[in-house]
Amino acid sequence: MDPGAHASREVSDVGEDTEWKKVALMRAIVEKQDPVAKEVDDYMLRRFLRARDLDLEKASNLFLKYLKWRKEAIPKGFISESEVQNDIAQKKMFMQGFDKRGCPIGIVLAGKHYYSKRDLDEFKRFVVYILEKLCDRIPRGQEKFTAIGDLQGWGYSNCDIRAYLASLDILQNNYPERLGKVFLVHVPYLFMKAWKIIYPFIDKNTRKKIVFVEDKNLKETLLEDIDEDQLPEIYGGKASLVSIEDA
């Protein structure tokens, strides 16, 4: 949960002024229904508001559901590596460096995820483990992370619609407005069949953050957002991949 409840913030324009007024109203609503809401800062409430286009009722409901989810999904306040050993062993998730905006970078090697090897409950815990680690690395003054979804070698044995939809549900409903941008690279034609199934479940705010990158423009495109010393060598940069458990 975000540290620094009621963190100080500056209002830079009229739009933000309206947002912060709604945040104050939302805080009154959610704290009345769940005292745990007092522990979160205004920025977290604003992310939930933005995810619901500043609709106070919808944002409050989403946030209260999040608090309930968190108590059940992360009862200890964190996910330990021992709870996600199977997924960690597959070496499919990496995390290192920051993009030019200061957002931490997560890299998913989708071709190393196998439907036949995954337990859905553990996989959901793994998604939470990833998101918690990424969010913990977000520096003060920034709220988002950047992701690279690498589909090199992706085929039928990697296709796992249930896992993809579970990931989306966790991200969109419990970590709203945390994803800054996701680059999909080395995308095989076969993946587009799965994409057609997944796409309707992606909300409009998330859709705007997805960038399909052509192989011929891979390095050039990634360098627009990520400095060479932060970009992994496999994409033409100078950084080595760091497994998520070592990050």
List, for residues 7-56, the tens digit of each pLDDT value.
Answer: 444 444 557 889 999 999 999 999 999 999 999 999 999 999 999 999 99
**Looking at the structure, do residues 52 and 92 belong to the same domain, yes or no?**
no
The answer to the question of residue 28 being in a domain is: yes
Which contacts of 28-32 are long-range, i.e. CB under 8 A and separated by 24 or more positions?
A: 29/56, 29/60, 30/60, 30/63, 30/64, 30/67
pLDDT score recorded for residue 201: 98
The answer to the question of residue 6 being in a domain is: no
Q: Indicate which CATH number applies to the domain containing 31.
A: 1.10.8
**Looking at the structure, do residues 69 and 129 belong to the same domain, yes or no?**
no
pLDDT score recorded for residue 4: 39
The answer to the question of residue 229 being in a domain is: yes
**Looking at the structure, do residues 170 and 91 belong to the same domain, yes or no?**
yes
**Looking at the structure, do residues 155 and 232 belong to the same domain, yes or no?**
yes
pLDDT score recorded for residue 6: 38
pLDDT score recorded for residue 47: 98
The answer to the question of residue 8 being in a domain is: no
**Looking at the structure, do residues 139 and 191 belong to the same domain, yes or no?**
yes
Q: How many CB atoms lie within 10 A of CB 164?
A: 17
Mean pLDDT of all residues belonging to the chain? 94
Spacing of C-alpha 174 from chain mean position: 9
pLDDT score recorded for residue 11: 42
pTM of the model: 0.92
The answer to the question of residue 1 being in a domain is: no
Stretch 217-230: mean pLDDT, rounded? 98
Q: Which residue has the tokens 């989708």?
A: 110
- Domain count for the chain: 2
pLDDT score recorded for residue 15: 72
Stretch 127-148: mean pLDDT, rounded? 97
Cα 78 from Cα 10, distance rounded (Å):
31
Cα 192 from Cα 198, distance rounded (Å):
10
**Looking at the structure, do residues 106 and 228 belong to the same domain, yes or no?**
yes
Q: How many CB atoms lie within 10 A of CB 64?
A: 17
Length reported for the chain: 247
Determine what percent of the chain is predicted with pLDDT higher than 70. 94
pLDDT score recorded for residue 181: 98
pLDDT score recorded for residue 13: 53
* Domain interval for residue 51: 14-73
Residue 196 confidence (pLDDT) above 60: yes
pLDDT digits (tens, 9 = 90+) for 85-110: 999 999 999 998 999 999 999 999 99
Tokens linked to 136? 């913990």
Cα 183 from Cα 177, distance rounded (Å):
16
Short-list 173, 206, 204, CA closest to 58? 173
pLDDT digits (tens, 9 = 90+) for 152-162: 999 999 999 99
The answer to the question of residue 115 being in a domain is: yes
